[in-house]
Amino acid sequence: MNLFTKDSKILITGAAGFIGAHLSKNLLDMGYGVTGIDNLNDYYDVRLKHARLEQLKPFEKFKFQKIDLADQTAIKNLFAEGEFEFVVNLAAQAGVRHSITNPDAYINSNIIGFFNILEACRNHPVKHLVYASSSSVYGNNKKVPYSTEDRVDHPLSLYAATKKSNELMAHAYSKLYQIPSTGLRFFTVYGPMGRPDMAYFKFTDAMVKGEKIQIYNYGELKRDFTYIDDIVAGVINVMAKPPMESEDGAPYKIYNIGNSKPESLLYFVEILEKCLMAQGIITEPAQKELLPMQPGDAIQTYADIEELVRDFGFKPNTSLEKGLTEFAKWYRDFYYRRDINVI
């Protein structure tokens, strides 16, 4: 059942983030109104967050407030005034390795912040709550591809544990208060205006500086790289179709969104180098330093998306070459040609 109309009131948390900004712009381009919130923290280059918001400001139907999810009073007031029908919770403290050295940020944003969103949806009922989970919940599961039916009881990082906690919390609220909720396990999202803490972005920065790039597990890592446009299309498809009650009576669902085609990190770097050279950003392949496995990393990610295809007729399909070409073009214009120092 599609309850999504051009008059629907939509809240997107993390609207200055990578996925949040792309999703907001896509919805605004389609004629929907969007209220976005973000705390604009300095986990990575704040200039990039402001640049994303600059793309959204020209839209008359876009409203933005600087709010932290952990600020319960601000969230209560936001929902009381907004009367939101659809909520997409993308705000979170991201990064697997960062969670090892800065655990407090993950508890505040991913646990307390998500609790505040759930409470707000309970007190101001919504037609659909969609929230970001992560492929990291699968840990180092031996069975591939990863299915939402698989057990996910062995997280490799606090970040992964917080995302699994979100799924459990959402299920409880869905069951208790009949809040239609859908969790989306994203698989290694990349593309223009992406996060500078992601490997492909760090590789690019290092190559521009003429530095070696560090590749962990001696290159024996595989990732289900998923282009940002495919992620956004998946989210919009899901938003429009709240879940029906499951066997236990909760209107609750989880989907994987991934390319369903894991690629080795070394191959990914090879395509990235090719795309960067084509845009004149680098002139030769990078020197590579092969290092041991890092704490918190999974050896492979691989999405089973049969349910996504079955329920929405949608399948991510952007090739690495196309996606990395778009990233290289953006990087050239945003960092390289503007003479902005890379991070």
Cis peptide before 145 (omega within 30 of 0): yes
In contact, 205 and 342? CB cutoff 8 Å: yes
Q: What is the pLDDT of residues 5-37, one digit of tens each?
A: 889 999 999 999 999 999 999 999 999 999 999
3-state secondary structure (DSSP) of residue 170: helix
* Average pLDDT, integer, range 131-143: 94
- Cβ atoms of residues 195 and 233 within 8 Å: no
Q: How many CB atoms lie within 10 A of CB 114?
A: 24
| pLDDT exceeds cutoff 70 at 341 | no
Mean pLDDT, range 293-310, rounded to an integer: 90
Q: Report pTM.
A: 0.95
C-alpha–C-alpha distance, residues 175 and 138, integer Å: 24
Rg (CA), the chain: 19
| Confidence band for 298, pLDDT divided at 50, 70 and 90 | confident
Given the residues 106, 138, 159, 336, select the one marked as catalytic: 159
Least confident of 20-34, 82-96, 170-184: 82-96
Asked if residue 69 lies in contact with residue 113, where contact means CB atoms within 8 angstroms, the answer is: yes
**Could you tell me which residues come within 8 angstroms of residue 339 by beta carbon, excluding any fewer than 6 positions away?**
none
Can you list the domains of the chain with their CATH numbers? 9-189+226-258+302-317 (3.40.50.720)
Helix (H, G, I), strand (E, B) or coil at 331: helix
C-alpha–C-alpha distance, residues 70 and 15, integer Å: 16
Strand, helix or coil for residue 224: coil
Average of per-residue pLDDT across 141-159: 93
pLDDT, averaged across the chain: 93
pLDDT in tens, 221-266: 899 999 999 999 999 999 999 999 888 999 999 999 999 999 999 9
H helices present in 67-186, as ranges: 72-82, 98-101, 103-106, 113-123, 158-177
What is the predicted pLDDT for the residue at 179? 98
Annotation says 190 is catalytic: no
pLDDT score of 1? 52
b/e per residue, 257-289, with b = 16+ CB within 10 A?
bbbbbbbebeebbebbbebbeebebbeeebeee
Which range among 56-65, 106-115, 213-222, 261-270 shows the weakest confidence by mean pLDDT?
213-222
Which residues are CB-contacts of 130 (< 8 A; sequence separation ≥ 6)?
Answer: 86, 87, 88, 89, 181, 182, 183, 184, 235, 238, 239
Report how far residue 123's alpha carbon sits from residue 176's, in angstroms, rounded to the nearest whole number: 13
Name the phi and psi angles at 257, rounded to 5: -125, 105
Tally the residues of the chain: 343
Residue 343 predicted with pLDDT over 70? no
